[in-house]
Structures are given as C-alpha cells and as structure tokens.
Structure 1
Amino acid sequence: MFQCRPAIWMSIYQFTFFFAYGVYLPFRGLWLEKLGITDADIGMLVGLGLTSRCIINFTLTPLFHKVEHLIPALRWSMFLGVLGFISFIYIGELKANFWALAILIILFNLAIGPAVAISDAISNHYAADRQLDYGYTRLWGAVALTVASASMGLITTHWGISAVPILGALGLFVTFLGTMIKPSVPMKCNHKKTDKINIIKVLCDKKTLVFILVASLLEGSHGGYYFFSTIYWKDAGYSTEVIGYLWSLSTISVIVFYFISRKAFSNWQVKLLFKLAAISVVIRWALMAYSTELPVLIVCQILHGITFSGTILSSVRYVEENKRHNYMGLQALYHAIPAGFALALVSAACGWIYHHSDINVFWFMAAMGIPCLFLSVIGDDDKDKDKDKDKDKDKDKDHGFTVRFSPEEQNSI
C-alpha cells in the first residue's frame, strides 16, 4: 500500500472530497428541477437529507471515539457515498418519483454524513501532533470547490445538467481511492483511553447550548443560498456559466480567508470571530435580497469567505478550546445540529417561502444573523484571557497607574 505524510494525505482527501461536493452542491437544485421536482419539494428533499445527516451524526459518529477507528470509518463512508451517486445516475434515466428520490437522498446522506466530522477529527489529531495545519489542508478543499464549480458551469452548458451525478460519482470514487493510501504516521492514541461519549451530557452544558444556537443560526442562514441561489440567479437571467463563476468566486474568498486566518485571527477570541461572521451574514444576505445586479452579487460572494469560513473557524476554535469534553462529542454535535438539523430546517422553510411567498428568501436568511450579534460564545481560552486581563487590571490599580502591554510583551512576562 502506498504511503504519504499526514499533511499530504489530508490535503488529497480535502481536494478530492470537496471537488465532488463542488460538483453536486451548486447544481443539485437545477438537477432536481430538471427531473420535474418543484421548488417546495426540492426544499423538502434537501431537508430530509440534512435531517438524515443530523441523525447519523447524533447517533453513530460519537461511537468513533477511538482514533484508530477514524480512517476505516472514513473509507466506508466514501465507498457507500459512491454507491449513492451511482443510484442518482440511474434514477436520472427514469421518470423521477418524489418518494424514490427521498429514500435515495436519505440513504446517501446517512452514508456521507459522518465524513466531515470524522475528517475534522483526523485533522485535529494530526494537528495536535504537529503533523499538519488545519487551515492549510482545508484550503485545498476550497481550491477544489473553485475548480469544480467553475468547470461545472461550462460542462452543464455543453453537456447538460445530467452530468452532475456522473461527475459527482467520479469525484467521490477518486476520494475513496485517496483514503486507501496509508498515512506514514499511524493514528494512535497518545493519551489515556476515554470512555464512550455521553452526547446528551455534552449537549446539556449551558456554554455548549449557546455555541450550538449561534452556530445553527449562522450555518442555517446559508440554507437558502446552498439550495436555491442557483435557481434564483437563473430566474434573474444569468447563464449556468456565469453562475459557475459566481460560485467559484465564493470559494476563492474561502481560499483567501483560510490562507490569512493563522496570522489575521490567531489572537482573536472565539466570541469576536462569531460576531464578525454574524455581521457579515446580515450584510451579505440583505444585499442579495436587495439586488441581483452582478456587481452586488460579486460583493456578496466575496463575503462568503467570512460568513462560511468564519463560522467554521469559530466553531473549530471553540471545539479545540473546550477542554472539558471529548473532542469527538462536540464535533459530532456540531455536524449533527448546526451543519445538519439547522440546515435541514432552514432549507425546508426556504423552499416553502421561495415557492409560496412573495417574501424574498434572503431577507429571511439575513434576519437569522441578528440574534447572533447579541449572543456571546465563550471558549475556555477566552475565559483564561479575561481572567488574565482582570489580574493585570488589579495589579495596575495596586500601583496607582495603568500599564498597557502589547501581546508580544504579555507573552514574554
């Protein structure tokens, strides 16, 4: 079996997986529309799929608390995902039936659902051993999304929307082959064995509940964008080629965000990162609701780097900083609720609004960011920093004057 360094292994996985994701995500709405599915039913199908992800991440994913189980589990997820895409190709040749599609989408999401949580856990394990940098490996996923969305705009223009499940299956098959490569540094537990995760106990923590709520609102606010923006832009008169370029622009902004994140946001507290994402969510979706002019859409797509990647980075930082719980428990909860159930609920709601209401769905999405401006997600490191600040203030008061230190000076003391 071939071997490679963990950083290369994870970069290959991120690129191939998100290429398949970039083929499927922007254009599945048009593919379902071509099969004769209505806007409202598309929202329902997407909601069923994401609910399936929520269930599988809430029940099965937390069971992978042993690091040696993570890579085998990821391989099985990819293999079953390939079978799901092959089923999509087959049903595309037949007269589409809503319930047949619903069953296939549910099974596909049950198979692929744990993949992101498991791959993040693998990245976190190797990052803790200083074998890779999360931001730089995830950057390759953003590059793949850019390539996929741009190329699919051209491909669907010339070969039709039926190419979506075919290229998705091909991309996921290459991902599966990539996971069969053996990392040169084995996945081994470097600390004492942990007990099985009590996911309910993790969820009932007050700090965790605030984190889940804020992350759900910010992640969920992207529901209408992921599943209806392509249809929305097509109705506004844009070609699939231009739509592909718009999606590519959003992923380029993600690449830039991840590239600068280590230097730009390393000293930011988790609560401030979430606030930045919330402000950007309100501005982005309000602009998209206000106008479909190309310059406005370009600005909105550039903001994707903050609304999407900012939320992910904030969530990853919170999970890493929260020392009181098993990492996999929080990771599973994040992918089950904010990235699963919340997206499912909003997608279904957006489908109904888009089909039955005169309200622009993007105003609804912008409103979801407003509560996050007033809620604070506090990580363990944030508490430590706040305590250090209070101690510094008390010391300054004792001497009768105020002393201010730069971050570099504080670290040297």
Structure 2
Amino acid sequence: MPHSLPYWRLSGFYFFYFAFVGAMAPYWSLYLRSLEFSALQIGILMSLLQVMRIFAPNIWGHVADRTGRRVAIVQMVAAICVVSYLGVFFGTGFWWLFAVMSLISFFWSASLPLVEATTLSHLKDRTERYGNIRLWGSIGFILVVVGLGAMLDHWPVESLLWVVLVLLIGVALFARFIPEAEINTLETEQASLRSVLKRPEVIALLAAAILMAAAHGPYYTFFTIHLVDAGYSKTLAGWLWALGVICEIGVFLAMPRVFRRLRAETVLLLTLAAAAVRFLIIAWQVDSLPLLLFAQMLHALTFGAYHASAMALVHRHFRGRNMARGQGLYNSLAFGFGGTLGSLYSGAAWDGLGAGVTFSLAAACAALAAAVFAWKGRRPASA
C-alpha cells in the first residue's frame, strides 16, 4: 500500500462528481419543465436522485466492508452509471425517465460514501485535511454551474444532456486511478454497528441530518425555477448558485483552524440555525438581490461547515470495519430518506401553496433539526 496521500486522484474524483451535481441540481428541473411536466412530476423525478440513496449505499457499503474492496466497487458502479445514463437520449416520457433516472441513481449514489470512507482511511488521523481535498468538488461545481447558466441563456436546454454525459465519463475515469486504502479493524473489534446506533448522540446526529437534507429539498429542486420566475436570467442564477459554493471553499480551507477552536458539535448546531434563516430569506425576499446574495453566502455554513462537521462526527462514531457501513447509513438516511422527503414535499407544495410557503417549510425543517441536535447531539461520544 502506498503511504503518501493520493491527493490529486481523490481531488479529481470529487471535482467531476460534484461537477455532475452542479449540472443536475440547478438545471435538470429546467430540462424536465421543458418537457411540460407538472411541479409534482418534476418533484418525483428529482427525488429519484435521492430515493435510491436510501438503499444503495447500505447495500454497497455492506459489500465493501465484507470484501475490503471499496474502490473496485466505485469503479464498477461509475462505469455502469455512464451506460445507464445513455437512456436519456432515447425517450422523454415520464415513466421512461422515471426508469432511467432510478437506474442512474442506484449506481451513482453508491460511489460517494465509499470514496468518503476511502479518503478518510487515507487521511488516517489527519482528518483536518479532508476539506483541502473536498474543496475540489466545490471548484468543479462552480465551474459547471456558472458555465451552464451562461450557456443555457443562448443554447437549448437539451444541450445539458451532453454536458452531463461528459461529466459522468470524468467520474468513471478518475475512479480508475484511486488506490485502495488500508482499513483499520482493531479499534472497533468490541463495538458492533448496532451498539453504535443505540447511542443518543448518534441518533440525534442522524435525525438532524435527515431534517437538514429535507430542508434542502426545495432548494435543489426549485431554486433555479424560483429565480427564473422572479425575473433573473439563467446566467445570474448560475452565479448565485456559484456564490454559495465559492464561500463554501473558504470554509473548507478554514475548517482545520475552526476545529481547533470549536467542537464539531458546536459547529454543526450553528449551521442548522443558519439554514433556517437562509431559507426564510429565499422564501420571502427573492426580489431583493442584496438579501439573496447574503442568503447564498450562508451556503458556506449550511453546506460547507455543516458537511465538514457532520463528516467529522460520522468518522468519530463509525470506525474501522464500521466505517463504510456508517458512511452508507448516513448517506441513506440523510441524503436518501431526507432528500427524497424534501423533493416530494416541495413538489407537492409548489403549485398549490407557492414558493414562499414551500421554502418556509424548509426553514421549519432546519429549525427542528437544530432543536433535536441541541437536545441530544452534543453529548460527548463514547470512548
């Protein structure tokens, strides 16, 4: 096993993985609306990018923990994901896209938890360097979200299909170069996964993660539509998405110093409160560009600082042979169950209740997450 950190190989994977997210989250709903789907249909189809994360990460995480071959699984599912995606070029009906997007999601959602576990295994006790690797995902997201926003003001929305294909190919190529990492099994020989899941602080963390992902459902499904309907151009919409991620990069770089001053639990609680404020601004102040800019700057907390602190806590609670399954469970519950819930309630509420109420529901989810985590999540983890 190589002892040096494979920084650029891991960073390249994160770059293309989140570049794909930068194409799908802001703009795929615009493509679906161009096919004249209703808000509920768009919500259902967008939820498929999350719903398979309820099952797939646990399935693949279990296989990875049993075999110890995390990267081999990532390489396989990335290649299958590219092949599955080709189906979008052969049909535009609701049920056809439902089937194709389900298949894409099942394989796509398997890779990130395994790469996260692999990255943390390579880092060993240097987890403070996680943000330096993860920031390349943010850079990929920014480049794509800004470039596509400008492109779609001049090109038909169908051009998005080809950009996404190129990005998925990039994910598959970089997956081929990530080395396997040594898995330390000694520190969890006496701790079963079930015993870890019974700890109050772990239950609170997972509950808060579900609610936080649900809070982001309207954002990832309808934020671009919300902006376009308010009169903003797609180019400006792209820059507003990018602003949040630009601020996020600064947070990732600063997190090692932040964690030397504040506990991960404290950081996480602050980010949950910030999310409630952010979504209330988006709900009722979309016409105010200065307030909208401030709300997007809060993305540095509601994604960057939140993700870094959540990963630190997941890494603390799920060790050794439990690591891949712990990552899989976290992704399944948070981004899978929580993300699906967020997409579905936003799709159901959008046409009938409007954007303001829908984003207010998002703020309520974030506030409830903060309350749950403040109640039980700040207990010190077991030794």
* TM-score scaled by length of structure 1: 0.84
| Residues 43 and 348 in structure 1, CA contact (< 8 A), matched pair in contact too | yes
| Residues 269 and 382 in structure 1, CA contact (< 8 A), matched pair in contact too | no
Amino acid in structure 2 at the alignment position of 1:83: V
**Does residue 122 of structure 2 align to residue 104 of structure 1?**
no
Query: Could you say which residue in structure 1 is the equivalent of 2:6?
Result: 6
Change (3 A) 1:321 1:193: closer
Amino acid in structure 2 at the alignment position of 1:250: G
Which of 319, 326, 331 aligns to 1:335? It is 331
Which of 213, 228, 238 aligns to 1:244? It is 238
Q: Structure 1 CA distance, aligned partners of 2:226 and 2:178?
A: 43
Q: Structure 1 CA distance, aligned partners of 2:242 and 2:319?
A: 39
Query: Could you say which residue in structure 1 is the equivalent of 2:55?
Result: 55
| Residues 23 and 164 in structure 2, CA contact (< 8 A), matched pair in contact too | yes
Amino acid in structure 2 at the alignment position of 1:296: L
Change (3 A) 1:31 1:24: same
Change (3 A) 1:264 1:87: same
Query: Could you say which residue in structure 2 is the equivalent of 1:23?
Result: 23
Which of 193, 212, 217 aligns to 1:218? It is 212
| Residues 217 and 338 in structure 1, CA contact (< 8 A), matched pair in contact too | yes
Equivalent position SS for 1:159: coil
- The number of aligned residues is 374
| Residues 21 and 168 in structure 1, CA contact (< 8 A), matched pair in contact too | no
Question: What's the CA shift for 1:371?
Answer: 2.1
| Residues 196 and 317 in structure 2, CA contact (< 8 A), matched pair in contact too | no
| Residues 230 and 243 in structure 1, CA contact (< 8 A), matched pair in contact too | yes
Structure (1/2) with the larger helix percentage: 2
**Does residue 300 of structure 2 align to residue 296 of structure 1?**
no
Q: Structure 1 CA distance, aligned partners of 2:317 and 2:268?
A: 16
Question: What's the CA shift for 1:329?
Answer: 2.5
Q: Which runs of 5+ in 1 are unaligned?
A: 385-413
Amino acid in structure 2 at the alignment position of 1:43: G
* TM-score scaled by length of structure 2: 0.90
Query: Could you say which residue in structure 1 is the equivalent of 2:42?
Result: 42
Which of 232, 243, 258 aligns to 1:264? It is 258
Instruction: Give aligned-pair identity as a percent.
Output: 23
Change (3 A) 1:299 1:132: closer
Q: What is the CA deviation profile of residues 366-401 of structure 1, one whole-angstrom value per residue up to 9, with x for unaligned ones?
A: 1112223333354785677xxxxxxxxxxxxxxxxx
Q: Structure 2 CA distance, aligned partners of 1:216 and 1:182?
A: 30
Q: Which runs of 5+ in 2 are unaligned?
A: none
Amino acid in structure 2 at the alignment position of 1:124: L
| CA RMSD, Structure 1 to Structure 2 (Å) | 2.5
Q: Structure 2 CA distance, aligned partners of 1:38 and 1:108?
A: 22
Change (3 A) 1:84 1:266: farther
| Residues 252 and 304 in structure 2, CA contact (< 8 A), matched pair in contact too | yes
| Residues 5 and 123 in structure 2, CA contact (< 8 A), matched pair in contact too | no
Q: What is the CA deviation profile of residues 129-156 of structure 1, one whole-angstrom value per residue up to 9, with x for unaligned ones?
A: 6599211000111011111100001111
| Residues 141 and 242 in structure 2, CA contact (< 8 A), matched pair in contact too | yes
Q: What is the CA deviation profile of residues 299-348 of structure 1, one whole-angstrom value per residue up to 9, with x for unaligned ones?
A: 11110110112221221111122267822222111100111111101110
Q: Structure 2 CA distance, aligned partners of 1:20 and 1:323?
A: 28
Change (3 A) 1:64 1:190: same
